[in-house]
Amino acid sequence: MARSMWKGTISFGMVSIPVRLYLAAESNPTPFRQLCARHTSPIRNRRWCVAGDHEVPYADLVKGFEVATDEYVVLSDADLERLPLPAAHTIAITEFLPRQSVPEGLYVRTAHYVEAEPPGRRPHSLLYKALEETGTVALSKIALREREHPALLQPLEGGLILSTLRWPAEIRDHQGIAFAAGDEFTAAELKMAKQLVQSLRVETFDPSQMVDEYRGAVEGLVEAKLAGHEVVSVRGEEPAARVVDLMAALKASIEAARAAPAPPSRRAAATGARRSRKAAS
The SS3 call for residue 4 is coil
Whether residues 152 and 277 share a domain: the answer is: no
Say how far residue 74 (Cα) sits from the centre of its chain.
34
| Pair 156, 99 in one domain | yes
pLDDT, the chain, mean: 82
Q: Is the pLDDT of residue 112 over 90?
A: yes
Please indicate, yes or no, whether residues 151 and 193 belong to a single structural domain of this protein: no
Q: What is the mean pLDDT of residues 73-77?
A: 87
Determine how many CB atoms are found less than 10 A away from the CB of residue 262.
15
Please report the DSSP string for 149-183 in residue order: EEEEEEEETTEEEEEEE--GGGSPP-TT--TT---
> What mean pLDDT is predicted for residues 255-271?
68
Specify whether 131 is located in the same domain as 256: no
Do residues 156 and 106 both lie within one domain? Answer: yes
Which residue range is the domain that position 254 belongs to?
A: 185-201+247-281
Within a domain: 90 = yes
How many C-alpha atoms does 196 have within 13 Å on its Cβ side? 17
pLDDT in tens, 21-63: 999 988 777 788 889 898 889 998 889 998 999 999 999 999 9
Work out the average pLDDT over 80-107. Answer: 80
How far apart, in whole angstroms, are the C-alpha atoms of residue 239 and residue 70?
A: 50
Least confident of 67-71, 170-174, 276-280: 276-280
Are residue 162 and residue 197 in the same domain, yes or no?
A: no
Q: Is the dihedral of CA 123, 205, 6, 83 positive or negative?
A: negative
Q: Looking at residue 241, what is its pLDDT?
A: 53
Same domain, 11 and 129: yes
Beta strand pairing status for 15-23 and 108-116? antiparallel
13 and 96 co-located in one domain: yes
Give the CA distances from residue 47 to residues 32, 54, 58, 104, 105, in Å, rounded to whole numbers and listed in that order.
22, 9, 8, 37, 36
In a domain, 163, yes or no: yes
17, 115: one domain: yes
pLDDT tens profile 149-194: 999 999 998 899 999 999 989 888 887 777 656 677 888 888 988 8
Same domain, 91 and 145: yes
Mean pLDDT of the 84-101 span: 82
**pLDDT-based confidence at 280, cuts 50/70/90?**
very low
According to the model, what pLDDT value does residue 189 have? 87
Specify the higher pLDDT residue, 266 or 39.
39
CATH value at residue 11: 2.40.290.10
Number of domains in the chain: 2
pLDDT of 136: 93
Residue 215 in domain = no
